[in-house]
Structure 1
Amino acid sequence: MTPTLRPLVLPLLVPLLLAAAPPVAAPALPRLEDAVPDTFTGVERVVAVGDVHGDVDALKEVLRLAKLIDEKGRWSGGKAHLVQTGDIPDRGERTREAFELLMRLEGEARAAGGRVHALLGNHEVMNMLGDLRYVAQGELASFADQSPEPDAAGTPRGANGHREAYGLQGRYGRWLRAHAAVVRVNDTLFVHGGVAPEVPAKTLAELNRWVRQDLFPGNPPGGAKDPQGPLWFRGYALGQEEEAARALETVLQRFGAKRMVMGHTTDRDGKIRTRLDGKAVFIDTGLSTGYGRHLSALELRGGKVTALYVDGRVELVAPEAAKAGKVSP
C-alpha cells in the first residue's frame, strides 16, 4: 500500500499561513481627544468609596459590605454604579492588586447593567508623572515584571517597571488615561478633591479634558497639577463656611447637580461627614491600614444618602432635608 502523505500537509501549511497573515496591530495609544463618559442618569443605586492607598483587602471588604461583590470577589451589584473617588496607589504595597480588581469589575459590572467609575486622584497623577515620594518600597518592587530592562545599579527594584506600567503604553497608564476626574451620576458630582468655581470649564467634558491634558505630552499646563484643580482642592472641606457655601452653590448650578461627593481630605474620626447643608459629602475615612482601616462606603438610593459602616447604616442629611430643617438620625 502506498503510504499517505496527508499528515504532512498541515505542518507544511501552518508556517505559510502564518507568514501570509497580516501582523497584529498594536493597540492604539490613548489620546487626549478620546471620549471619556462623564454623565449618567436613571441610576437606582450608587455606592461611592474613598481613598484606597494600596490596601486591596480593605477595598474588597468595603465592596462586600456594600453588597457589590460576593465572597469570591465577583461583581454582585447588578445595575448599581460604584464610584471610587481616586487615590488607589501609594502608601501601601498592593496597589496593583487594587487596580486589577477594579479593572476586572468594570467588565463584570457592565455585563450586569451596572458601572464602575474609577476616578483620577492626585496620587494616580503623581505616579503617571514620575512623582514617587509616597510610593512604598514594596509597592515599587511589585512593578519589576512590567519592564524587560533590569533596573540600573543603585536604583530601587521595580523603578523601570513602575515607569513603564504608568506610561502611555503601560498596562495601568493606558487604563488610567481613559478615566475621568469628575463624573455626575443622577444629581451628584463625584470628584477626588473638589471642583472650585474658578475651573476654566462650563461642561464636564471641558473640565475632564483640562485635567487630562497634563497626562499627554505636548499640551499646555492643565488641571491635574494645578493646586486649585479638582484633584487637589480642599476648599469645601476646610474653607470658611459662608464662602465655601457660595462657591459650592455656583459649581453645582453650573454642572446641574445637587451635591458633591469628595475624597482626598481624610476624616480622622473614621466617619463620613457632610457640610454646607448636606451639599458637600466627604468620604475619605481612612480606609487603608495605614490610616486606621476605617471601613466605610456612601450609598445614594431613592433620595436617601446613607453611610455604610461595619456596625450599621447611618442616614445622612440630604440637601432637601437640610433646607426644610429636618435632620436625619
Structure 2
Amino acid sequence: MGFNLEHKDGTRDKWSGLRALFEKDRDFGIFINYQEKYNLNGVDGPYIINNQLYEVTKENKLLNKNIDRKEKLIVNVGNSDNDQFEFQLKDSIISEPEFYELPEKLVVISDIEGNFDGLSSFLINNGVIDKNFNWTFGNGHLLLNGDFVDRGENVTQVLWLIYKLEQEAIKYNGKVHYILGNHEIMNFQGNPRYANKKYKRVAQLISKNDSLKIATQYLYSDKTELGKWLRSKNVIEKIGNYIFVHAGLSPEILKYKISISDINQIVRKNWDKNLYDEEENNKVENFLTGKKGVYWYRGLSQDYKYYDKIKENELNEVLKFYQADKIVFGHSVVEDIAKEFNGKTINTDVKHGQEKNSEKTKGLLIENGIEYKLDGKGTKTKL
C-alpha cells in the first residue's frame, strides 16, 4: 500500500508502494512536496490578459494571440454538442451594488461547479435564455449563489456565459447577480484542490510557474479578465427582504454588529488570505472569512463539526438585525430545494444533473412575491 497526502499548494507527500518496483511508468520511493504533473484535456478558455488571448484546442494545444478588445470573441464548450457562443469584453469593471428592490421575477441557482450542460439547459427551459444562449428574461433578475468553479470540465465556459448575460440583461433593465462562494475564493487564495486537473496545467502554462498556488492565484488575480471580473462581486446581497449569501449567517455575527456593506468590504480586503486555517489578529476578519463566515458556515442547514445548527430564535435575531424576512443560501447539499424555519431559510444546493434537460437540476423562482421550485426541464412547482 502507498500513502498520499495532498497539501493546499497542490504538492503531495507520497509513498509509491512496493508495486511501483514492477511498473514501468511509476517511480518508486517516498516523495515529499512532490509536484504531480498535469495535462491539458480538451477545449478550454479563453483566458484574457490585457490584449492577449489564450485558449486550449481539442488537440490539447495552448494557443496565444493578440486581440482587439472591442471585437467579438468565441467560446467553445467542451461538450457533446460542441456548443458555442460569442461575447464582448466589458469597457470597464466596477464593484456591484449590494441592495436592490425585489423584481417581479427572480431566478436563483447555486453550486453549478463548471457544469455548463446543467446550467445552460436549466436557463433555456425556464425562459432565461434562448437556444443561442442569449438573454430572454426581460427585466427579470438571475442570481447565481456561489460555487460556479471547480470540479467540472467547463468552468471557463460557465463563467463567460455569466459574463455575457450580465451585459445583455442590462439592456432590458434586467440584472445578473453573482454571489461568490468558497470555491471562487479558494482559487483567489491559490488553492486548486477541487479543480479539474486540466485547470492546474493551464494555470502553470499561462503563469509560467510550476507552483500550483502561485499559478492559480495568477489566473484568478486582477491581472486576468475573469479574475478582475470575479473580484468585483459581492459575498452577500439584499434584494427586497431576502438576503442572498453562499453559505449562511452564523448567529455569532451579531457580536460584531457588521452591516452588509461592511461584510463585503472586509471580505474583499481579506479574501486572498486563508484565514480559515491561519488566523491573524483581527477577530472580525477571522470570523467573516473563517469557519463560521459567510461562505463557509453550514449551520443554517445542519449540525457541523465546529458548531450546532442554528436555532429558530437565533435565526430570528439575525433576520431582525439585517431587517430581512428570509435567507437564501447554498453550500450544504440537500436532496431538493428546501425551506426551513417556517420558510425563513431556503437552501438551493442540490445534486444537479450533469446532462442537459435533467429534472435533477433545480433552482428557485420568486415571482410576484411567490416562491416556486424550477427544474431543468422547465417544470414549475409552488414551494
Q: Into which bin does the TM-score normalised by the smaller protein fall?
A: 0.7 to 0.9
Q: How does 1:1-329 map to 2 (within 5 A)?
A: 36-143=96-203, 146-147=206-207, 149=208, 151-152=209-210, 162-199=216-253, 200-215=256-271, 221-222=285-286, 225-239=289-303, 243-267=310-334, 269=335, 271-287=336-352, 289=354, 294-309=360-375, 310=377, 312-316=379-383
- Kindly report the root-mean-square deviation, in angstroms, between the aligned alpha carbons of the 2 structures: 3.0
Counterpart residue type for residue 252 of structure 2? E
Going from structure 1 to structure 2, the CA distance change for 1:223 and 1:76 (only over 3 Å counts) comes to farther
Counterpart residue type for residue 229 of structure 1? G
Going from structure 1 to structure 2, the CA distance change for 1:53 and 1:315 (only over 3 Å counts) comes to same
Aligned to 1:22: none
The whole-number CA distance in structure 1 between the counterparts of 2:202 and 2:214 is: 11
Going from structure 1 to structure 2, the CA distance change for 1:108 and 1:219 (only over 3 Å counts) comes to farther
Going from structure 1 to structure 2, the CA distance change for 1:203 and 1:68 (only over 3 Å counts) comes to same
**TM-score of the pair, normalised by structure 1:** 0.76
Greater Rg over alpha carbons, structure: 1
Moved more, 124-133 or 219-228: 219-228
Structure with more of its chain in strand, by fraction = 2
The whole-number CA distance in structure 2 between the counterparts of 1:235 and 1:131 is: 24
Quote the sequence identity (%).
Answer: 26
Moved more, 86-95 or 159-168: 159-168
- Aligned-pair distance for 1:175? 1.1
- Aligned-pair distance for 1:202? 3.6
Q: Secondary structure at the match of 1:48?
A: strand
The whole-number CA distance in structure 2 between the counterparts of 1:201 and 1:207 is: 10
Going from structure 1 to structure 2, the CA distance change for 1:282 and 1:145 (only over 3 Å counts) comes to same
The whole-number CA distance in structure 1 between the counterparts of 2:165 and 2:302 is: 33
The whole-number CA distance in structure 2 between the counterparts of 1:201 and 1:211 is: 15
| 1:213-269 CA distance string (max 9 Å, x none) | 2136899545563110010111110149995212221121122211111110111x3
The whole-number CA distance in structure 1 between the counterparts of 2:251 and 2:108 is: 23
The whole-number CA distance in structure 2 between the counterparts of 1:301 and 1:274 is: 16
Moved more, 233-242 or 99-108: 233-242
- Aligned-pair distance for 1:140? 2.7
The whole-number CA distance in structure 2 between the counterparts of 1:97 and 1:224 is: 30
- Aligned-pair distance for 1:293? 8.2
Counterpart residue type for residue 261 of structure 1? V
Gaps of 5+ in 2: 1-89, 274-279
Give the total of aligned pairs.
278
For the 8 Å contact 2:166–2:176, the answer to whether it is kept is yes
**TM-score of the pair, normalised by structure 2:** 0.66
Structure with more of its chain in helix, by fraction = 1
The whole-number CA distance in structure 2 between the counterparts of 1:35 and 1:100 is: 18
After superposing on structure 2, the runs of 4+ consecutive aligned residues of structure 1 that deviate more than 3 Å are: 141-147, 159-163, 216-225, 239-243
- Aligned-pair distance for 1:139? 3.0
- Aligned-pair distance for 1:87? 0.3
The whole-number CA distance in structure 1 between the counterparts of 2:288 and 2:158 is: 22
